[in-house]
Structure 1
Amino acid sequence: MSGKLRQSPETGEDVLVRSLQSLPEDIIRCIFAYLPRLSDKVHLACVDPKFRHIFERWARNQKNILDAEDVELMTLPDIIDFFTVAGPFIQVLQVDCASFEKESLVVEFIVEFCKNLEEIYYTNVADEFHYRTIMAKSTKLKKVSIDCIDVDDVLTFDLEANQDLEHFELAHGCYSGKHLCGFSKLRTLVLRDCLLWNSGEFGIPLKSLKVLDLDDCCFEVSNQSLFDKITESCLELEELSFSGSDMNFEVIAQLPELKRCTLKTWMTSNELNLGFLAQLAEQKGNKLTTLHLSGQFLFTNEHVRYLGQLSSLKELRWTNNDVLEDDHFKFFNDLPLLETFALSWCGQVTDLGLMRLLRKCEKLKVIDLTDCELITNEFVINAIACCAKSSLDRHLVVNSKGTKIKETMLSHPEYLAYLNHVKLNFIDK
């Protein structure tokens, strides 16, 4: 042997690293963008100081998402490396709270290193979950979504330090409403399929609230006081979704900025309050552009007359209501802006009713039908003729899932004609 030390043979990894080091920065940035998981990006960043510097510059302009499950599978040294490199750039956290082994450890690292968290999405949440402490330790949260396992899970959490909170969503939980008072920037509040106990004390001093969704919620007591708070405090509310058997429709009509409204009832005998529609009609719909009615409302000609005067409406949806009839469409003369009409599970409306609607509402662009069994090919043929004769160059899309409109209509001579402006869809949108 000579007196010189032998050099270790170069490994494939060394060759790869040297090859990557020779690449220009824009190509390395593309590699970071291509790698699917944040942990993969961090592994590359840890290979060489050049890669880490490029990662840091690249990550500052990205919306970096951490799936907690990825970290749970790492060893402790890898967890340390991961959060040291990526922690300051993580803005979105996704956590499936069903089963974890290292959740306390991961929470400590998130609290220590992820100071710029803006969004958190929790799923499979129970009463006690370690990850909730992150909300109390964060200061920049703008959006929080919590999906519980069971409606009996009573949630307690602290968001007080996050005064920039804009969006809060809770599904399938038990909630008192106390934790969301006083957030001046909160724009969206969604409580879906929740048990709202102490609803008489439900706090909505949310003057900037734009969207309020209380869909399928169960109130422990009468919700009259809640409606009063909504109309007194939420003067900028633009979108309201509510379902239940104890609605105060007239109070809803007093919201001055309301544009989109969804009302659902669980009671087959519930009557849609005439005062609600009368007040809206008197204001010519005010600013209301979207109205969705769901459930077995008792609906008379007088109701329809008022509904037909909501001149600002662009979208009208009916769901699970079997009382709408062909004659009701005679009263829709004053819906000049209506562009979308949706009807589902309605067994009394026929081709005649829809043609009345199409002739009266000349800006109608979409008719969305689901499980309306009396609508047939004849409606499509008549709609083609109606649109062809119009001087407004009308185009119409008909979504016809669950109707008697057959797919053979797609090869019908009228449908294939050059002047046909009607498009048929037979699947979900």
Structure 2
Amino acid sequence: MEQVLSNKNDKSSNGNGVLVQCIQVTYKKTPVYSLRQYFRQFGAFRNFETAYDLNPQQLEPIKRLLITYVEQEAARRVLQNESHFVENEIVNVKSTNSRQELVKENVCETERENLEIAHTREKAFNILQLPEFCIHAILERMAPGDQIRFVQSHRSFQTIFETFSRRKYKKFIWNKTQSMTMGEIRDFLSIAGKYMVELNGEIRNRYYDDVMNLLIVYCPNFEKVTLSDIYINPDSFRNFLRGLPNLRELNLTYYQLDERAFAALRDAKKLRVLKLSNMFHIRGKHLQTLTQLEHLSLHHCWLVRSKHLIKLCEALVNLRTLDIRGIHYASPCFFQVIDTHCKRLEVLKMCAPEFNYDRVALLPRLKHLEIKYPTPVDRLTIISHLAQHKADQLEVLKIYTRKCLTDKDVTSLSELRELRELSIAFNRDTVTNGALAKLCKLKQLEELTIAACDEVTDDGLLKLVKNCEKLSTLNIQYCNRITNDFVTDVASLARHRYRKLTIYTFGTAVDKKKLIQLPKYKEAAERFGLNIEFEFSKTGLSDYEYVFTLFENELLERRLIARGL
């Protein structure tokens, strides 16, 4: 008797005080898959079915699910809260006895809703009476400027906005403040600033010194800062850096700063990543004091001198990543000592100099190597040295050049047994079916870029896919001998593969209109993770600038010749 009485006011019991196992879920846009994953954490399902849409003529019809749990305790845990937050949407739950009860309720649901709408129109609407999750939903659809103006309309909203900011603004894009006044920016940062740990964007406000001061005062917890394309007062920048004790990563692009401004980073003991790109005043002299760095990028900081690079590598004993692409003044002296000073270096991105740099292959921990060739070359000696010294260690190799690989180089590549990513695009004379047969030895290969290698055919590529079972990304753009037959054969293999496969086919003979009508392709795309990208993509091609320009000129010449012009 006590049990029945105690359950009468329990959300997990029916009107008779009996515990139920069925719950009804009301939602609008949340995917059924996400709902299944969310409600499964409360307990095992006996039944899970989509019930029906209420008022399907509406722009956003209300949908329902009926979930029956194996245990009553699972339903009780769900019903402790009437509302749940799934995929940025509020979903409501309530107890129900059976599907029959749900069907009966559906008969008069439309009439009931119409009566409720008419009744609410008679009453004056008061936004202050809305529950907190509704205010969160309103704020979610507003820009930061509109949010702060809305919050300033009533003091009760400020506490709600504080809770909202704790979740929403851990990562903040500064460009969203362009329409805000300085007063609104100050009020916004005073509430949300202390929760921000990552800042991205461009500070284009004409009062940039005042903006930096506001960031110093209200945003002390930044761990990652990425800013670009601005001239800023060095003193303001130094003060900004000094006010970030938790800074771990700093990324700057197109900043007109003297490197002495980075002296303030000496006290940033947690700083591990510094990426500077297209900063033409950087020479490298003062960066060697940042001994805490593990990842350093000087991409297109072309005034950096070799003597400073040597001192940098000697001082930064924990350096694991170094990007020196676009540095034109690296001398033979630097490459003669790189394996001595960079004993922990795992990732190296560089532009190939005109002199010998084969000692790169002697780096003790090298796993990732990218080499960009600013001008065409006749021969690559680095590949054979990598096969000799790093066959069981190198995981990523990207060579950005054109028509320079030889059959011997391909044989050396096939000996890099741990290779996971390989980019050798625009080598049409060497990368043929025979070359792909050699690359079938790379059992760990996950990503391959062979764009514009138009000697490759369906059979050669299919053999590679069969042998490299871990392959997940294949860029074959402009391989014009690849047809729909290759894709359909891969679709047949998809059911037996354990990984999803994305293939970039722009510029090939793959016909999208015909392919999407094939049942075999549809099944592989929907069930087995086969993804064919038909539009042009820069994936794997972003560092082939001059190569791609030459290739496009070749394509234009071929078209003109074909037309007899």
SS of 1:257 mapped into structure 2 = coil
Find 1:240's aligned residue among 340, 348, 351: 348
Alpha-carbon distance in structure 2 between the residues aligned to 1:164 and 1:184: 11
Question: 1:41-52, aligned counterparts within 5 Å?
Answer: 41-52=147-158
SS of 1:195 mapped into structure 2 = coil
Question: 2:445 corresponds to which residue?
Answer: 338
**Which stretch has the larger CA shift, 346-355 or 299-308?**
346-355
Question: 1:257 corresponds to which residue?
Answer: 365
Alpha-carbon distance in structure 2 between the residues aligned to 1:111 and 1:156: 20
Question: 1:336-375, aligned counterparts within 5 Å?
Answer: 336-351=443-458, 353-358=460-465, 360-375=467-482
Find 2:251's aligned residue among 145, 149, 155: 145
Question: 2:45 corresponds to which residue?
Answer: none
Question: 1:209 corresponds to which residue?
Answer: 319
Question: 1:220 corresponds to which residue?
Answer: 329
Alignment pair present for 1:266 and 2:374: yes
**Which stretch has the larger CA shift, 412-421 or 396-405?**
412-421
Distance change in 2, residues 1:131/1:410 (3 Å): farther
Letter in 2 for 1:264: K
Distance change in 2, residues 1:278/1:189 (3 Å): same
Find 1:401's aligned residue among 506, 513, 530: 506
Alpha-carbon distance in structure 2 between the residues aligned to 1:120 and 1:52: 27
Alpha-carbon distance in structure 1 between the residues aligned to 2:180 and 2:160: 26
Alpha-carbon distance in structure 2 between the residues aligned to 1:69 and 1:408: 40
Find 1:116's aligned residue among 221, 233, 243: 221
Could you tell me how far 1:71 is from its partner in structure 2? Answer: 7.2
Find 1:157's aligned residue among 261, 267, 274: 261
Distance change in 2, residues 1:87/1:362 (3 Å): closer
Distance change in 2, residues 1:46/1:343 (3 Å): same
Question: 1:168 corresponds to which residue?
Answer: 274
Letter in 2 for 1:119: K
Could you tell me how far 1:218 is from its partner in structure 2? Answer: 2.5
Alpha-carbon distance in structure 2 between the residues aligned to 1:400 and 1:71: 39
Find 2:436's aligned residue among 316, 325, 329: 329
Alpha-carbon distance in structure 2 between the residues aligned to 1:382 and 1:31: 49
The answer to whether the 8 A contact 1:199-1:219 is kept is: no
- Which has a greater percent of helix? 2
- Determine which structure has greater relative contact order: mean sequence separation of CA pairs < 8 Å that are 6+ residues apart, divided by chain length: 1
**CA displacement, residues 236-274 of structure 1 (integer Å, 9 cap, x when unaligned):** 43333222334755333233433332222123125221x
Could you tell me how far 1:282 is from its partner in structure 2? Answer: 4.1
Alpha-carbon distance in structure 2 between the residues aligned to 1:154 and 1:108: 20
TM-score, normalised by the number of residues in structure 1: 0.76
Distance change in 2, residues 1:226/1:137 (3 Å): farther
The answer to whether the 8 A contact 2:220-2:243 is kept is: no
Could you tell me how far 1:345 is from its partner in structure 2? Answer: 2.7
Distance change in 2, residues 1:249/1:337 (3 Å): farther
Question: 1:3 corresponds to which residue?
Answer: none
> 5+ unaligned residues in a row in structure 1: which ranges?
1-14
SS of 2:267 mapped into structure 1 = coil
Could you tell me how far 1:199 is from its partner in structure 2? Answer: 2.9
Question: 1:278-427, aligned counterparts within 5 Å?
Answer: 278-282=384-388, 285-296=391-402, 298-326=404-432, 327-351=434-458, 353-358=460-465, 360-377=467-484, 379-380=486-487, 387=493, 397-410=502-515, 424-427=532-535
Alpha-carbon distance in structure 1 between the residues aligned to 2:173 and 2:487: 49
The answer to whether the 8 A contact 1:400-1:424 is kept is: yes
Could you tell me how far 1:335 is from its partner in structure 2? Answer: 1.3
Alpha-carbon distance in structure 1 between the residues aligned to 2:431 and 2:171: 52
Alpha-carbon distance in structure 2 between the residues aligned to 1:72 and 1:359: 54
Distance change in 2, residues 1:48/1:399 (3 Å): same
Distance change in 2, residues 1:333/1:120 (3 Å): closer
SS of 1:320 mapped into structure 2 = coil
Alpha-carbon distance in structure 1 between the residues aligned to 2:217 and 2:524: 65
Letter in 1 for 2:299: R
SS of 2:464 mapped into structure 1 = helix
Could you tell me how far 1:329 is from its partner in structure 2? Answer: 2.9
The answer to whether the 8 A contact 1:200-1:226 is kept is: no
Could you tell me how far 1:307 is from its partner in structure 2? Answer: 0.9
The answer to whether the 8 A contact 2:253-2:277 is kept is: yes
SS of 1:112 mapped into structure 2 = helix
Could you tell me how far 1:284 is from its partner in structure 2? Answer: 6.3
Distance change in 2, residues 1:24/1:329 (3 Å): closer
Aligned-pair identity in percent equals 23
The answer to whether the 8 A contact 1:223-1:246 is kept is: no
Give the greater-gyration-radius structure (CA): 2
**CA displacement, residues 117-161 of structure 1 (integer Å, 9 cap, x when unaligned):** 3333322234856753322443332222212178xx765422223
Distance change in 2, residues 1:132/1:246 (3 Å): farther
Give the aligned CA root-mean-square deviation in angstroms. Answer: 3.9
SS of 2:476 mapped into structure 1 = strand
Could you tell me how far 1:410 is from its partner in structure 2? Answer: 0.7
The answer to whether the 8 A contact 2:516-2:522 is kept is: no
Alpha-carbon distance in structure 2 between the residues aligned to 1:56 and 1:383: 51
Question: 1:173-184, aligned counterparts within 5 Å?
Answer: 173-174=279-280, 175-183=282-290
Distance change in 2, residues 1:264/1:83 (3 Å): closer
> 5+ unaligned residues in a row in structure 2: which ranges?
1-123, 538-565
**Aligned length in residues:** 402
SS of 1:218 mapped into structure 2 = coil
Alpha-carbon distance in structure 1 between the residues aligned to 2:499 and 2:149: 56
TM-score, normalised by the number of residues in structure 2: 0.60
Alignment pair present for 1:53 and 2:159: yes
